[in-house]
Amino acid sequence: MYFSEIIGQDAARQQLLHAVNHNRLSHAMLMLAPEGAGGLPAGLAFAQYLVCENRQEQDACGQCAACKKAAQYIHPDIHFSYPVIPRKPGDKPLSTDYIAEWREFVAQQPYGNVYDWLQFIGAENKQGNITAHECQDIIRKLNLKSFESPYKILFMWMPEYLGNEGNRLLKLIEEPPANTVFILVAENQEQILATILSRTQLIKINPLHKDEIIRALVKRNGATEQRARQIATIAAGNYREALQLLQHTDNDYHELLRNWLNAIFMQNRAGLQEWVDHMASAKMGRENQKQFLRYFINVLEHSLRLQYMDRSLLAFSEEEVDFAEKLKKLANLEQMQQIMEELDNACYHIERNANGKILFHALSIRMQYIFKGRPLPV
């Protein structure tokens, strides 16, 4: 993995490069990145940069033997650790038992989360862990001499899955062998052992900017500009979620919203029934239902922003900004707040397997009450 392959994160990259190039490299770093922000690819790129034999100013060279091995995740001095499951009852699984799957997963889904990984290895409902047996194996590996690189690197993904057994690593982290580097990549700081957290240098990686996700979806995934903007608005800095939205739906949320509100305002019962049937269909699915409701919430937020901001500063398309302006005239602040509450409630019930037809029928009726300024039925 190369820094050039990472979406955004220029500040984090410069911080890492500065540490190496000015001899300020900490022996234990915790890269804290929210889901879909790129913590995993950033950590992998940094590991490759460390072992590169001909480092460039901003990236690994990509030509030396070390780079070629690191890019395939087979460099002998980069050791990987990640949550795994027993292949059969009674097993004491190690990360190395799943190294072939790990290489394939990282190549295919560098922005994936731990749920994606566990499903990739067939965990189903099993809980992944980084076990005491794994910690012992880490200690053994890092006490060996390096094979090719000046550095020995332990790359641990999701240290949140270390139980109290992680305390076995404390002495190694505090007093590591010479030129040993720990790179820990995490998503939730509160779930990491405090004893581990206190012994690492924290490097924060922020959620991706909306424009960065838009450019990535257009350039890397062939999305249209308008579709990319819709998805980036909903994804809220999470490129994994953006990919999920792009790959699992062909729905145009803007068009769906227009059709819905037109049917409500025109009291078009046949059109509203057709819309509800579509929203409740198996093709739409619960995840798309939730994403549509979140998109509507974003449109309402843009309608509010238009009261205080110039429309050119908004990230919506011209058509969507025009729609947000019209919506601002149809509903006042109190009505918008009511609508948002109804949409949040609908998302809550969708997550709990509510019947789609009943839910969207009821939501449509409540929307009619809100737009008419009438008290909502209990």
Check whether residue 156 and residue 263 sit in a common domain.
no
| Total number of domains constituting the chain | 2
Q: Please indicate, yes or no, if residue 173 is contained in any of the structural domains.
A: yes
Q: Please indicate, yes or no, if residue 165 is contained in any of the structural domains.
A: yes
Q: Please indicate, yes or no, if residue 228 is contained in any of the structural domains.
A: no
Q: Please indicate, yes or no, if residue 342 is contained in any of the structural domains.
A: yes
Check whether residue 12 and residue 153 sit in a common domain.
yes
Check whether residue 264 and residue 366 sit in a common domain.
yes
Q: Kindly tell me if the per-residue pLDDT of 268 is higher than 70.
A: yes
What is the domain-level CATH number for residue 48? 3.40.50.300
Check whether residue 161 and residue 257 sit in a common domain.
no
Check whether residue 36 and residue 184 sit in a common domain.
yes
Check whether residue 178 and residue 315 sit in a common domain.
no
Nearest alpha carbon to residue 242 among 252, 234, 251, 254: 234
Position 313 confidence tier, pLDDT thresholds 50, 70, 90: low
Average pLDDT over residues 165-173: 87
Contact partners, residue 268, CB within 8 Å, separation at least 6: 262
CA–CA gap between residue 214 and residue 229 (Å, rounded): 6
Q: Please indicate, yes or no, if residue 244 is contained in any of the structural domains.
A: no
Position 105 confidence tier, pLDDT thresholds 50, 70, 90: very high
State pTM to two decimals: 0.72
Position 310 confidence tier, pLDDT thresholds 50, 70, 90: low
Higher local confidence (pLDDT), 170 or 299: 170
What is the domain-level CATH number for residue 338? 1.20.272
Check whether residue 20 and residue 138 sit in a common domain.
yes
Segments forming the whole domain that contains residue 296: 249-371
Check whether residue 36 and residue 182 sit in a common domain.
yes
pLDDT digits (tens, 9 = 90+) for 59-70: 999 899 999 999
Q: Please indicate, yes or no, if residue 83 is contained in any of the structural domains.
A: yes
Check whether residue 110 and residue 191 sit in a common domain.
yes
Contacts 24+ apart (CB under 8 A), 225-232: 225/317, 226/254, 226/317, 226/319, 227/252, 229/315, 229/316, 229/317, 229/320, 230/254, 230/295, 230/320, 232/315
DSSP-derived pairing of the beta strands 152-157 and 180-186: parallel
Q: Please indicate, yes or no, if residue 240 is contained in any of the structural domains.
A: no
Q: Please indicate, yes or no, if residue 242 is contained in any of the structural domains.
A: no
Check whether residue 199 and residue 258 sit in a common domain.
no
